[in-house]
Amino acid sequence: MFWIRLVCAALGTALSVLYLLMLARGRKYQDITANLESFENRDLCNAGFAMQEIPALALRGKLGKQLRVQADLLYGSTYQEYYARLYYARALSVTVLLAAVLLLASSLLNGSTLVLLLLAAAIAVAGIWISQISEMKKTVDRRREACLNEFPNVISKLALLVSSGMILFQAWSAVAESREGEIYDLMRRACQDVGNGMSESDAYYRFGVLSDCQDIRKFSSMLVQSLEKGGSELTMFLMQQSKELWSQKRQRALQEGDAAAAKLLVPTVLMLAGIMLIILSAVFMSMTLAF
């Protein structure tokens, strides 16, 4: 146990020194994070940015590609690199700090308590790393689900407005301003793109890409194709899409209900088993007293 404690103390001290050095070196990044008032633990990011200067800890490979794609979906290509490195910096900083604290705490213990704390530390460090590094992915997933749930309503409104004689972009703008929500934010972003000089077709296509939803991306591609053909069948296309999407939404609702029922089956069985055990225990106790 002495050698384990010594190794924990050495590793904890090394990580602590590394973190303090990176914290001091990271002061030059204060201006980069100064305006991120709503970003959680932004003060820890400076050390993470400094850590990325170490070649072994630089953002690259598969993880770098994933974070850049997620940052592009959430913040746009202009800020893609910045936010990818920002989230990575926070993950690095929080993980190193937590590992240093837990290793130093482990070096003060002995016996089975030391082993248990080391196991808990390994689980905690892995958990905090996964949680921090996957935060953007969780945000993208939540936005995808929100967009998919509201998508049938959006297409129904578009179909109604276009069929009443309104041109597509006017109908799109009216629907975008009608409510608050993830998909309406993306629609308003498409309107801003058109206002900044992007073509309608490109704006609608980018709307589908940013939603990160296969059904919405398919719709946007078909919408662009319809516009390229002159838009003569646009009303029929929107009406057909509306019917299909509502049918798909009903099917998803049924599937989600079945999944929820399946999840409730396990606790129900456990409760039933517990009740049966209580009844059988009472029966056996009464039989024992009778004899």
**10-residue block means of pLDDT along the chain (291 residues)?**
80 91 89 80 88 91 92 88 92 92 84 79 89 91 88 86 85 89 91 89 90 87 80 74 71 60 69 75 66 56
Give the pLDDT of residue 21.
92
Task: Kindly give, in sequence order, each residue whose CB lies less than 8 Å from that of residue 248, ignoring residues fewer than 6 positions away.
Answer: 152, 215
For residue 228, count CB atoms less than 10 angstroms from its CB and return exposed for 0-12, middle for 13-18, buried for 19 or more.
exposed
Residues 259 and 79: their CA atoms lie apart, in Å, by 38
Minimal CA–CA distance to 203: which of 190, 214, 215?
A: 190
* Helices and strands, counts by H and E, the chain: 12, 0
Pick the CATH number of 142-248 from 3.40.50, 1.20.81, 1.10.287, 3.30.1760: 1.20.81
Can you say whether the dihedral through the CA atoms of 269, 272, 278, 280 is positive or negative? negative
Distance between CA atoms of residues 23 and 96, nearest Å: 12
Long-range contacts of 11-18 (CB under 8 A, 24+ apart): 11/103, 12/99, 12/100, 12/101, 12/102, 12/103, 12/104, 12/105, 12/106, 12/107, 13/104, 15/96, 15/99, 15/100, 15/103, 16/100, 16/104, 18/96, 18/100
Place of tokens 């937590």: 98
Say which residues have a Cβ less than 8 Å from residue 264's Cβ, sequence separation at least 6: none
What is the reported pLDDT for 20? 92
pLDDT of 274: 72
Phi, psi of 149 (to 5 degrees): -70, -35
Taking phi over 0 as left and psi of -120 to 50 as alpha, with beta for the rest, 212 belongs to: left
Quick one: pLDDT at residue 257? 61
For the whole model, what pTM was predicted?
Answer: 0.76
The pLDDT of residue 85 is 92
Q: Which amino acid is at 89?
A: A
Tell me the domain boundaries of the chain. 2-133, 142-248
Task: Count CA within 13 A, CB hemisphere, residue 121.
Answer: 20
Separation between Cα atoms, residue 79 and residue 81, nearest integer Å:
6
With beta carbons less than 8 A apart as the criterion, state whether 200 and 194 touch.
yes
